[in-house]
Structure 1
């Protein structure tokens, strides 16, 4: 008899979640994916198949919702580990601060309470670089010691990631009773999409390639491949030294939006001929943001260099991310494959 450990992956139809499931199945774990409705279970299987999974005998589904605490009791039953990726993203219908913060914070607490009651060994929380570097600025790379300062400049999504991660650490300290927690804080996630339903971060590439982005805002941030983010989650789940730690997921140096566009032009030639070749002045972005809520989110970060270090994950867990340009090109090529450009 095989004694495979079971991992609950929450938000099972998400970009990072699907790649975590692929990595877990390839590493011999049983996976239970939580979904708000089983309507998406076939799409999830289709995405996993696109990612190279051909057998679903170690995959099951559970219905659970971030706004329904009791739904998590059955979802976590019999699981040794949880990867909690579910959280409202800028790609969802969330509009107000409450739409982001309440389900993000409550969802974390619902999952952790259910996990503790079910005897789960360790939870890996997918937080974000948004919980590390916002509301503040420094000219050296951000590390796991840094936390977002919740002031008026912090947009609802980053605020929700900060509040929910803080709530998770507080829960472990005050009520965890020996249950373990590790946290992964990815920067801007790229890499190959698995269907025409993909992460909000990939929109940047789509907008560049289809000519929707006429000029680049002055944003400079880190990038990372979703396959490496998934690998870091599995390491954070399985390695003893990951317990009680946060890990920033970033590949190399920060890139400006203009540099991203240049990578696309250089490598994709004619396919990327609509990619922008100039930066837009900050005043113009601020003006347009009055009418565009998505632009409003980036205004506080115009002109700032958001550099980050993944030294901790590399040194402590032996993590080896691929280069950022490879992740960016993989995203672009997969969008083309799914006729999104």
Structure 2
């Protein structure tokens, strides 16, 4: 019997690699897109570290979100697409459209190719950034019904690009999808085991804390979720009939401050206790420094904001099971220590 073929875009990414790992273990064939041949070895190294020994069900396709080349071939004979890749956010962008246009164009490119090749369903990795931004005086947990408020002037262009690309995707499905099934997964801060020293930079804050590079922390609250559970939620959203046409917020439902994260690490890794930060920086100071430091702009836009989230929908509709935020944070640090990433 021929295995169902799933395309996973951006195979060398942190979330994508965990999705590929679970798909291969569950008996699917996977074709993953990479932007350069050099990424092949990295993908295989990460999968090997994740326990995969047989690569006969894995194939690669060279395709870039910024070009039409090869998307048609990538989608041939495919049952499902999990679209994880997104253009890397620029820190020093000249204007917002440098971040927003590529994000929108990329997802439409993938959806068109999927539709034209009779793919059954596309699951898109969207973001919590498409849900929470620009809401003033929020008092109740964010859910899938929420969308970031684009009329609010302090929204960071990254959150804008996530929101606008997801809106564009739903719009395409409604007007031009021709029956293509679609759902999105919107993760909060993603933690969990890193599978290679060449890992993505999504967890760099943990590495920097353990290395003593972070002396003081901004007052940012966030939800967290384990990458293994984000991966399993994508697969549930891909296969279950009731997931079609739905968004799913990937969160444990816990909200932690950056200091809570440092405290979890301090308790779990006493050898690093002396390097971990113990002080926080006042919100007003963050905002002033961000005026001249582009690296802090995104942080400045979210310091002191409400960040409670609900995972009721994914748990009740899809019977999603998940680890605690603490487990995810410890797993991140442990994997970085084991792989020699933490210097």
Cα offset for 1:171?
0.5
Q: Which segment is superposed worse, 285-294 or 189-198?
A: 285-294
Q: What residue in structure 1 maps to residue 293 of structure 2?
A: 292
Distance 2:273 2:82 in 1: 36
Change over 3 Å in CA distance of 1:313–1:293 after alignment to 2: same
Cα offset for 1:98?
2.8
1:114-129 equivalent positions in 2, closer than 5 A: 114-129=113-128
Alignment of 1:235 with 2:236, yes or no, is yes
Check conservation: 2:92, 2:294, Cα contact below 8 A.
no
Alignment gaps of 5+ in structure 1 = none
1:1-341 equivalent positions in 2, closer than 5 A: 2-90=1-89, 95-96=93-94, 97-137=96-136, 138-150=138-150, 151-341=152-342
Distance 2:87 2:177 in 1: 24
Check conservation: 1:219, 1:305, Cα contact below 8 A.
no
**Secondary structure class of the residue paired with 1:279:** strand
Q: Which portions of structure 1, spanning 4 or more consecutive aligned residues, are displaced by more than 3 angstroms?
A: 92-96
Cα offset for 1:93?
7.0
Cα offset for 1:285?
1.2
Check conservation: 1:94, 1:100, Cα contact below 8 A.
no
Distance 2:51 2:274 in 1: 31
Question: Which digits, 9 at most, give the CA deviation of each residue in 1:72-131, with x for residues without a partner?
Answer: 1111111111000110234x6773423321221101000000000000000000000000
Q: How many residues align?
A: 339
**TM-score, normalised to structure 1's length?**
0.96
Question: Which digits, 9 at most, give the CA deviation of each residue in 1:131-155, with x for residues without a partner?
Answer: 0000114111100000001132111
**TM-score, normalised to structure 2's length?**
0.96
Check conservation: 1:184, 1:232, Cα contact below 8 A.
yes
**Secondary structure class of the residue paired with 2:279:** coil
Alignment gaps of 5+ in structure 2 = none
Structural RMSD (CA):
1.3
Cα offset for 1:32?
0.2
**Secondary structure class of the residue paired with 1:325:** helix
Question: Which digits, 9 at most, give the CA deviation of each residue in 1:150-180, with x for residues without a partner?
Answer: 1321112111111110011000000011110
Change over 3 Å in CA distance of 1:270–1:152 after alignment to 2: same
Distance 2:161 2:250 in 1: 19
Question: Which digits, 9 at most, give the CA deviation of each residue in 1:241-290, with x for residues without a partner?
Answer: 00000000001311000100000001110224211112111122123213
